A and B are shown apart, each in its own frame.
Chain A
C-alpha cells in the first residue's frame, strides 16, 4: 500500500485503487487496472442510491487479493449505518470482484447499485508523461456485457466486463435495481478481462467464473508452495524472522512470467510500475536470491538469452551480444515511439549475465543450462570487447545513440547527475564507469572457469584469463585516485579520471578487480564518515559538490547497493566491516517493517535516528527485497566450493543465534548456523585488518552440523 492506495497484482496485471476499491484516474493519476503496460480501466466507481461509500477497513489478503468493508455515505460518523457493502477483488488476467450488500435493518430496502466503468487505454509511459492518445474509442453494451474498446490502426485493446447477476448495461456502466429483505443479502460477481486484440478471439469468449476460481486457487497454492520450499530461518533476533518472511512474500509477488516461458518465473523490477524484465534488476535480484532459490536465476538467464541483441539498432541501442535493459508491451512501444521492444541501453547487464551464469552453476551444478547458454555467453563476452569498447582503450563505456529516447547513464546509477567530478561538473560521453570494468573483469574470470569446466575450451579459458589479468593491471593504474586512495567513479571521454568518491568502490571489491594492496584503503573509505551514514554506504560521499542526502544517486543509501558492497567486503576478508553494513541495513529493514525501500536518505544515523525513506512510486522494489537475502548469505559467509557449501559466519552480535535450514543446491540440502559475535555498535571508522582467523568450516553433508565460529575482528 502506498499513500492510501491499494494495489494488488499477478504477473504484469495489477490494480491500483483507493481504499474503497474505487478507481478514478485522471490522465496522470496512477490508478487503474493495468495489464501489459496498458491501463484497461481508468474508472470503476461504486455507488448505492447515487451515494459514494466510505471504507471501514481494507485488507490486503494476499498480494493478488484485497477486501474492502464499506458503508454508504461519505460522512465521517457512521450513524445509522444499517447496511454493509463488501467488495472482494482478485487479480488474474484482469480482475474478479465479488460484491455483497448486507441489509442489517428489520425492514426491506430498495437499492439502485451502480458501477461506473470506463477506460482511457493509456500506455504506462503516457500515464507518466501525460501524452495524448491517437486512436479511437468505442463502447458496446452487448448481451449483458460491457465492452470497452480502443483501436489505432491494427492495434486493438479491449476490456470486457461481465456480471453474474443480470444488470442494465449502458455505455458508462452497470446498474442493478434490487430489493434486499430484512437482514438479507444480495450479491453479484463481476469479471473484468483485459484483452490484447479484439476480445472475441479469446478462447471461450466471456470468461467462465469456474475457470477464474481455479486460477485463484492455483495462485494461493503457488504462494504457499513457494514459502514452503524456501529454507527455514530461526533466529534469536525476532525482527529478522519477520524481515525474511516479508522478503519471501514480496519476492513471490514480484515473480513475472514471459509470454515465451509460461509457468516459469523471473523477478520483475518493482511493483507496480516495473512489472517487466529489466536485465540489470532481474540479474541482481536473482544473484541475491540464489542461496534460497535458483529458479529465478535459471528463468532470468534463459529469458535474457532469448532476447539477446543480434544486430546494430541505434534506436534501441542494440548490438550483437548485448543483454537487454527493459522490455515493454504498451502502445508507444508497439508503434516504435519508444524503443522498449526491447531496449538495450544498459552497459552492465551483459557482463552481469555471464556472472550470474557462473554463480548459478556454483550453487546448482546445472551443466545443462551452462551448455545451452554457451553461445549467448560467448556473444556477451564478444560484446564486451568489440562493441562496448567505444573508445578503443580496452574499457567498457557507454553513450546513447538516440538522444530523444535513449538513456543517458547506462549504469545502475541511471539518473542524469549521478556521475560527476568532485567539483560537481559532469563528464562528457562516452563514459567508462568503474564498476563496468569490475563486472567485465569478473565476467572474464568466471567465463574462463565455465570454459574449462563445461565448454571444454581451454584455449578460450587461457585467453580470458590473460585478458582479465591485463584489464586488472590497467584498471588499478588508470582509475586509482592517488591523493584520495580510492577508485575514480569513471574515466571521461578524454581518459581523465572522474574523481568523486562513490559507493561504486564497493562493487569493485565484489568483482575482485581491486589489487589486494589497495583493498584496505577502499574498505576504510566505505566505512568511513564520508560514505558510511550508520545505516549504510551513501551513493556519493558527503565531501563531494553534488552530495545531497536525499539525492537519488548523489547521496541516498540504497539497500541493494549495500548488499553487494557487503559481499565485496567479505570477498576481501573484511568481515567486521561487512557485518557493520549487515547490521545497519537489517536494522533499517526492521524499522520499515521488513520491507526496505528502494533508497533512504544519506543523513547521518545519529541525526535522524530513523532512516528517511526516499519517495518512490515502486514498493516493493525487487533488488531491495533481495538485499536482506544477500546480507544473510554474507553474514553466514555462505560460499559454494565444489560440491560443498562453506559456512563461515561473521555476524553482528545483535542477531544472536541464527539457523538457516535446508539451503538448496548441488549438495541437495544443507543447514547453516551462526552466532553473532561482532560488536557493530562500537564506534570505529577505521577499517581493520582483513581477518584470517576462524577459517571456513566445511559442510559436506546435511548431517554435519556445527556452529561456525564467527570471526571476531
Chain B
C-alpha cells in the first residue's frame, strides 16, 4: 500500500471532523521536499507546500499561501512513511528527519491523526501462570 501525500490529505479532509482535534485550532504548513537524487535529476529545490487548517476539530486543506502556526519541513518519502504508520512522527523529529519552525504543539496535535504501524493488532496470546513462574525459575 502506498499512500501518497495527496491521498493522505484528501482523506483527512473527507473525514472533515476529527474528534481528537476538538477545541483545537491551528494552521500547519507542510513543506514536502523531493529526495536529493531525484531533485538533481529533474527539479532543483522542488518543494510542495500544503496547508492543513484545524478549526475546533474541523479539518481543511489548501495549497494557497496563508500564515501558519508551524512549518514542518520533511522529505516526501519520510512523510509517506509517517502517513502509512511506518515512521513515528516524534521519533522522526528527534532524529532530525523533520524539523519544525514555530509552535511544536501544532505538530504534536497533528501527529494524533497518523495511523499506527501496519501489523499492530492490539492483542497478544495470554500466558499461563505456569509459564511465567517457570521462566522466572530458569533465569
> Chain A residues in contact with chain B, CB under 8 A?
153-156, 196-197, 259-261, 306-308, 310-316, 318-319, 329-330, 333-336, 341-342, 371-372, 374-375, 379, 387, 390, 399-401, 416-417, 425-430, 492-494
A-facing mask of B81-122, CB < 8 A → 1, else 0? Answer: 000010010110011110100011100110011111101111
Q: How large is the interface on B (under 10, 10 to 19, 20 to 34, 35 or more residues)?
A: 35 or more
Do B20 and A493 touch across chains, with their CB atoms under 8 A apart? no
- Cross-chain contact A425 with B133 (CB below 8 angstroms): yes
List 28 contacting pairs A-B, 8 Å CB cutoff, sorted by A. A154-B95, A154-B97, A156-B96, A197-B99, A260-B103, A260-B104, A261-B105, A311-B116, A312-B116, A312-B121, A313-B85, A313-B116, A313-B117, A314-B116, A314-B120, A314-B121, A315-B117, A334-B94, A341-B88, A341-B90, A341-B91, A341-B94, A342-B90, A371-B23, A374-B23, A387-B122, A426-B129, A494-B129
Residues from 124 to 139 in B contacting A, C-beta threshold 8 Å: 124, 126-133, 136
Complex alpha-carbon distance, A165 and B127, angstroms? 64
Selected contact of A430 from candidates B99, B103, B126, CB within 8 Å: B126
How distant is A328 from chain B, measured CB to nearest CB, in Å?
A: 9
**Distance (whole angstroms) from the CB of A38 to the closest CB of chain B:** 10
Contacts of B130 in A (CB 8 A): 428
Whether A333 lies near B127 (C-beta < 8 A) is no
Contacts of A334 in B (CB 8 A): 91, 94-95
Chain B residues within 8 Å of A319, by CB: 122
Q: Within 8 Å CB of B112, what residues of A?
A: 308, 310
- Residues A308 and B109 in contact, CB atoms below 8 Å apart: no
Known contacts: A319-B122, A401-B124, A428-B126. The answer to whether A197 contacts B90 by CB under 8 A is no
Whether A401 and B122, one on each chain, are in contact in the complex, defined by CB atoms closer than 8 angstroms, is yes
Specify which chain B residues have a CB less than 8 angstroms from the CB of A336 in the assembled complex. 88, 91
Asked whether B120 lies within 8 Å of A312 as measured between CB atoms, the reply is yes
Measured in the bound complex, the distance between the Cα atoms of B94 and A493 in whole Å is 38
The 6 A-B residue pairs whose C-beta atoms are closest, nearest first, are A311-B116, A334-B94, A260-B105, A154-B96, A341-B90, A313-B116
Shortest distance from the beta carbon of B116 to any chain A beta carbon, whole Å: 4
Of chain A, the residue at the smallest CB distance from B97 is A154
User: CB within 8 Å of A: which residues of B?
Assistant: 19-20, 22-23, 85, 88, 90-91, 94-97, 99, 103-105, 108-109, 112-117, 119-124, 126-133, 136
Closest to A390 in B: B123
How far in angstroms is the closest Cβ of chain B from A321?
9
Q: How far is the CA of A308 from the CA of B58 in the complex (A)?
A: 19
CB within 8 Å for A375 and B122 given contacts A155-B96, A313-B117: no
A428 touches B88 (CB 8 A): no
- Whether the Cβ atoms of A428 and B105 lie closer than 8 Å is no
Assembly CA distance A417 to B137 (angstroms): 12
- Residue from B108, B109, B136 in contact with A416 in the complex, judged by beta carbons closer than 8 Å: B136
Say whether A306 contacts B105, CB under 8 Å.
yes
> Whole-angstrom distance between the alpha carbons of A483 and B115 in the complex?
49
Shortest beta-carbon distance from A387 to chain B in Å: 7
User: Within the assembled complex, what's the spacing in Å between the Cα atoms of A464 and B4?
Assistant: 42
How near does chain A come to B3, taking the closest CB pair, in angstroms? 15
Q: In the complex the two chains form, is B132's CB within 8 Å of A426's CB?
A: yes
Contact residues in A for B88 (Cβ distance below 8 Å): 313, 316, 336, 341
In the complex the two chains form, is B133's CB within 8 Å of A314's CB? no
C-alpha spacing A390/B120, complex, angstroms: 15
Q: Report yes or no: A333 in contact with B115, Cβ–Cβ below 8 A.
A: no
* Whole-angstrom CA separation of A122 from B127 in the bound complex: 35
Q: A residues within 8 A CB of B116?
A: 311-314, 318
Give CA–CA (A492, B104) in the complex, Å.
42
Is B122 within 8 A of A312, CB to CB? yes
Q: Are A428 and B128 in contact (CB under 8 A)?
A: yes
